[in-house]
Amino acid sequence: MVISECAYPRAGLIGNPSDGYFGKTIAFAFTNFRAKVLLYESPELEILPATRDHSRFGSVAELVSDVRLYGYYGGIRLLKAAVKRFAEYGDSVGAVLDGRNFTLRYESNIPHLVGLAGSSAIITAAMRAMMAFYGVRIPKPVLANLIRAVETEELGISAGLQDRVAQVYQGLVYMDFNREAMERRGYGSYEELDPSLLPPLYIAYRSALAQSSELVHNDLRERYRRGDPAVVEAMRFWADLTVQVRDSLLRRQAERLPALLNANFDRRVSLYDVGAGNLRMVQAAREVGVCAKFTGSGGAIVGLCPDDAVFERLKARLGELGVTVIRPAIAPPVGGE
């Protein structure tokens, strides 16, 4: 029997990057792209390489282009770390992982390193496949923590919980990472919101703007650790914006949202250089008449665009910059605890 599991990219609607700093965020998963993992029983445990793991190139220029797009590491390290962490979790809770071995293979068409959480999607899909294979149930808040630990503790990648919570729960999720809850039980308070509350959205991304989120988060984390007043206040500001967006959604006051989303990005620009390409993408979107902010750490933006004619103008304008614009299809919420 072949087990097939998927996980989807996420977009931070508001509040990011305060999730790593006891803040609040709202994010959603969407199905326009996906990471897929296949798992089947085999005599030995084997992890098969995918396109981004290849090491044969037609030329030096092709290797350079590949490294610029995917970095020096592909998905195999994510899967190896996920298997290790899953096995250790099983031991910690007394789950019996029988002696069966398996083969893992993966594929992903999530745009790479543009702030859509493609790496954690691969890990999430792998965790779901192993849970199905061994019959292990993991509560959703705990699973999100486990996925984050694969990156932060196994691979040394700076990462907040927002991406993993959105991918585990899917749909639209309000997240409160207040310090008391995080320190007492290790995870925040997560509220699933009705995705139908969202007005029509757009997401735009440009792979040429790809960069690792570690570059951004490491700097912010160090400044936060030092108590930099601008960074500390920004975290409170973003958390407050999140509460305002949640309230506006629940009251169906969509007209309040554009200014709040714009404010999220504008405060970010005041803290550090977001990159000329990213700034041009946001400015071009706003010139068309829509709001715009990062979905994550850069390379992709999200905003509201209820009018189809404006959406077509947005596609044309951003297309001039080599930017792809889509309408995100919200992933259905995952049932259960």
Is 98 an active-site residue? no
Residue 76 identity (one-letter amino acid): I
Which single residue is written with the structure tokens 């699973």? Answer: 143
124-154: per-residue pLDDT in tens? 999 999 999 999 999 999 999 999 999 999 9
pLDDT at 96 over 80: no
pLDDT at 216 over 80: no
- Asked if 31 and 232 touch (Cβ cutoff 8 Å), the reply is no
SS3 253: coil
Task: For residues 12 and 294, give the distance between their C-alpha atoms in angstroms, rounded to a whole number.
Answer: 7
- Asked if 18 and 31 touch (Cβ cutoff 8 Å), the reply is no
Task: For residues 52 and 331, give the distance between their C-alpha atoms in angstroms, rounded to a whole number.
Answer: 25
pLDDT at 145: 96
Average pLDDT, the chain: 92
Which single residue is written with the structure tokens 């910059």? Answer: 321
The residue annotated as part of the active site, out of 19, 98, 163, 219, is 163
Task: For residues 258 and 141, give the distance between their C-alpha atoms in angstroms, rounded to a whole number.
Answer: 30
Q: Extract long-range pairs of 132-137: CB within 8 Å, 24+ residues apart.
A: 132/3, 132/5, 132/39, 133/3, 133/39, 133/41, 133/100, 133/102, 134/90, 134/95, 134/97, 134/98, 136/90, 136/95, 136/97
271-293: per-residue pLDDT in tens? 989 999 999 999 999 999 999 99
Domains of the chain: 2-195 (3.30.230.10), 197-326 (3.30.70.890)
**Helices 276-288, 257-271: inter-axial angle, 10-degree rounding:** 160
pLDDT at 196 over 60: yes
Task: For residues 249 and 173, give the distance between their C-alpha atoms in angstroms, rounded to a whole number.
Answer: 12
Q: Identify the sign of the CA torsion 248, 251, 252, 253.
A: negative
Q: Tell me the Cα Rg of the chain.
A: 20
User: Which of these ranges, 58-72, 89-103, 136-150, 163-177, has the smallest mean pLDDT?
Assistant: 58-72
* Rounded average pLDDT over 88-102: 88
pLDDT at 259: 98
What does the block give as tokens for 219? 């700097």
Percent of the chain with pLDDT strictly greater than 70: 95
300-322: per-residue pLDDT in tens? 999 999 999 999 999 999 999 99
- In the structure, what pLDDT confidence band is assigned to residue 214 with cuts at 50, 70 and 90? very low
Residue 82 identity (one-letter amino acid): A
